[in-house]
Amino acid sequence: MTMIPCTEGRVAVASAADGIDFGAVNSCMTISCILDDGSKIAAHDAIFKRVQPQILFALKERVPADRQIARVIAAGAGTCWTPTMESQQELASGMSKADPSFKEQSWQEQDRLMFPNMITRNVARFTEVLSRDLGVDAGAVEFRDVAEGKIRLDPDGALEVDEAPD
């Protein structure tokens, strides 16, 4: 067994016998697709180092034609991303364009105004987006909110999280 690294801004592919190591996350989102043969395709989106062209497209385009995604596991900072994988900074920029006074608010107030749009408050919507865009049943999608810690996917496709102490 080998743990394949999946660093910020990257997509990694692992065989059924291997796992994925995302390393430490604090504002990132990781999304893993477990294929019908047990192999894995995973991506690690970071606010300042995005997966290109977009995380869900990057994952889907790596699925071999003779394979299907059986399960999807997302883990990361749900307070930093919207259900459509728009980062907190992108959301703040859009809110500033819609209402220029948004920029004049303190960071705490901006955060309070953005929070209702984030995954943490919209888990069902996030799993719905993953289900739809990756072509899997909603029941085959799971999300774990990890504010800060180390994330790994073992060879059997089980999520392992070592959360940082508060």
**Spatial distance between the Cα atoms of 133 and 96, rounded to a whole number of angstroms:** 28
* Alpha helices for 115-148 (secondary structure H): 123-134
The DSSP secondary-structure symbol of 49 reads B
For residue 52, which amino acid is it? Q
The yes-or-no verdict on residue 12 having pLDDT over 80 is: yes
- Which of the following CATH numbers is that of domain 3-155: 2.60.40, 3.40.50, 3.30.1330, 2.40.10? 3.30.1330
84-122: pLDDT as tens digits? 999 999 999 999 999 999 999 999 999 999 999 999 999
For residue 148, which amino acid is it? E
**Spatial distance between the Cα atoms of 62 and 65, rounded to a whole number of angstroms:** 9
Domain boundaries of the chain, sorted by first residue: 3-155
**Spatial distance between the Cα atoms of 87 and 79, rounded to a whole number of angstroms:** 9
State if pTM tops 0.85.
yes
Q: Which residue from 61, 26, 23, 33 is spatially nearest to 47, judged by alpha carbons?
A: 26
The yes-or-no verdict on residue 143 having pLDDT over 80 is: yes
* Residues paired with residue 14 on neighbouring β-strands, in sequence order: 40
